[in-house]
Structure 1
């Protein structure tokens, strides 16, 4: 059984979450120097609006990151030793006054986590290519006046302390939480080509426009990559509840916090899914694996192992103990959802 809570509030104060009680943080914060977030940042520090009005772009940029840094410090308090932080962030390009420049958000976040003593792990580029004919910036075909178009964002990965040691029941849960060989090869690549929030599992286009949330595939991968079943995952900028939904599907607990009560209402509505819609994600994961095995040459199939829980073939010995469960029941009480699970059975719809 897992629990999934949405809290309305500013994540610079998460006093209702105990020290060291979170195993993984997966989030996508407001991006400094993106216009849609100016009002939100300025409401917390009016000097930011003054800087923008007066053309002091760099000053506004650093003040916006001071706001985020207060939240990263609070995240550090609630994160367990050896826990991971995964942050989806994009850099910004903007003209302030008569000066166009890049504002490197990912650099500021990396520097903050280094200051807090974290290990910086290899990051992932999330490529969001656009085919729009007007996507290029600057002076058209003339040299020395055009600018490279940004079509990627970063997924930054940090670890607090050293490697996590798994003992006893946690060791068994880790084995059951393993991912498939072919998933490993895709998920742990440094380039992800995933389209935006086109999946039907998230409702409200208006909410996406206001929140710029990432697609479900991103937190779903990260949750499975950096946590085990039963862990607690925090999203301090929960937005549309995408990380929470990924945790519901993946048998992890989750806590989502957002300062905007209208957005949290949408998040709670998004989490109130038809159970079949959530189980479809699990079903597609299994089907994708079976298709991968089916396409292997016979000589490679003969060298595969048999998964003990589900009876299908797997590529490596580390996949033998994978145990995938589907949701059997979802209950809601106020701002908390509780999920129950059962063994995945391919005969069930």
Structure 2
């Protein structure tokens, strides 16, 4: 098995080289309007710069979102019928002309996506952990001048049209093989995620770091496993340091990323091999977690009725019996800004043969290159 991963250092507003209905899943996090770290990016547009300079917050907010709307329009075009778009976005708080206000980025994006014809599926609240000693905003302990602190972001989930169809026998078999574990389904499909920490990339460049709003590898990997099948194409129109590309490679999917800032290219190159190690480690953790789940269930004298035909271990549901997880082996750049990943593929076991699963790879020692911290 081989997956392909392409990067375009270009504005995602124009995806003219991407054929219509050619992408199965979008996983992305755009620049957040009205967050100061992205002002420089948005202020390349004169009208936005003038609105901020004159302290007209809601005008600047709307103009920023009109720039993002152009990307969402393209996403609607390139997604296949039944394709899914997952957008990680946080709201913003800001004081302009001595007036403190919330700028609801998530609701503005949601409104435009609905206007395009997307269906909004249940969204996820990502409850980001924080170590801030003082969480309140405003006038401390005196009502009514204190403000609720934002400690979550949204993962908005949209579907283009009706449910995606898998018509051929090969498509149906691939879907079955792309299943996830029952216990993973119970964790992943909760509408509140409290187990993921935010991430900060060590770019070595303060200005570049201000342009990176990277989410953790696990967030992208989880969404890709939830909403796509092996061999699908995953698009990230705001690729940044490449997290979505690396997660897609780990999951046996193809990917396409757009990034306006060419300075991110060395970081993506440097992150390729560590991403393979990260993927193998995460897959090992999935197997270890499942086997521990089985042991705990058996210790509690709970029956497990089904057996996975590929690995030979017990599983809860019939939908897991063909589950298989490709193990990434190597990544190489085939042409400029295009990468190819190869995989080890498991073979079906004879009934009764003991389980053979990949083991979790130890975390790299201090001093080794690692992209995700």
- Taking a change above 3 Å as real, the CA distance of residues 251 and 328 of structure 1, as seen in their structure-2 partners, is same
Partner of 2:197: 195
Q: State how 1:265-284 maps to structure 2 within 5 Å.
A: 265-273=266-274, 275-284=276-285
Q: Does 1:61 align with 2:61?
A: yes
Of residues 300-309 and 9-18 in structure 1, the stretch that sits farther from structure 2 once superposed is: 300-309
Partner of 1:119: 119
- Taking a change above 3 Å as real, the CA distance of residues 116 and 300 of structure 1, as seen in their structure-2 partners, is farther
Cα shift at 1:196: 1.2
What secondary structure, in the 3-state scheme, does the structure 2 residue paired with 1:295 have? helix
User: d(CA) in 2 for partners of 1:40 and 1:96?
Assistant: 19
Partner of 1:75: 75
Of residues 178-187 and 275-284 in structure 1, the stretch that sits farther from structure 2 once superposed is: 275-284
Partner of 1:326: 327
Cα shift at 1:302: 3.4
Query: Can you list the C-alpha shifts for 1:118-166, whole angstroms capped at 9, x where unaligned?
Result: 1011100000132312331100111010000000000000000001111
Partner of 1:204: 203
User: d(CA) in 2 for partners of 1:249 and 1:274?
Assistant: 8
User: d(CA) in 2 for partners of 1:327 and 1:203?
Assistant: 24
Partner of 2:350: none
Q: Does 1:225 align with 2:226?
A: yes
Question: Any conservation in 2 of the 1:180–1:319 contact (CA below 8 Å)?
Answer: yes
Q: Does 1:86 align with 2:115?
A: no
Question: Any conservation in 2 of the 1:6–1:264 contact (CA below 8 Å)?
Answer: no
User: d(CA) in 1 for partners of 2:148 and 2:155?
Assistant: 20
Structure 2 unaligned spans of 5+:
347-355, 362-373
TM-score (norm. length: structure 1): 0.94
Question: Any conservation in 1 of the 2:129–2:198 contact (CA below 8 Å)?
Answer: no
Query: Can you list the C-alpha shifts for 1:310-346, whole angstroms capped at 9, x where unaligned?
Result: 1111111111110112113322122111011113553
User: d(CA) in 2 for partners of 1:74 and 1:130?
Assistant: 35
Question: Any conservation in 1 of the 2:250–2:276 contact (CA below 8 Å)?
Answer: no
Partner of 2:151: 151
CA RMSD, 1 decimal: 1.7
Structure 1 unaligned spans of 5+:
none
What secondary structure, in the 3-state scheme, does the structure 2 residue paired with 1:60 have? helix
What secondary structure, in the 3-state scheme, does the structure 2 residue paired with 1:131 have? coil
User: d(CA) in 1 for partners of 2:265 and 2:179?
Assistant: 32
- Taking a change above 3 Å as real, the CA distance of residues 171 and 94 of structure 1, as seen in their structure-2 partners, is same
User: d(CA) in 1 for partners of 2:272 and 2:101?
Assistant: 39
Partner of 1:339: 341
Query: Can you list the C-alpha shifts for 1:31-57, whole angstroms capped at 9, x where unaligned?
Result: 0000010110111x1111111111100
Partner of 1:169: 170
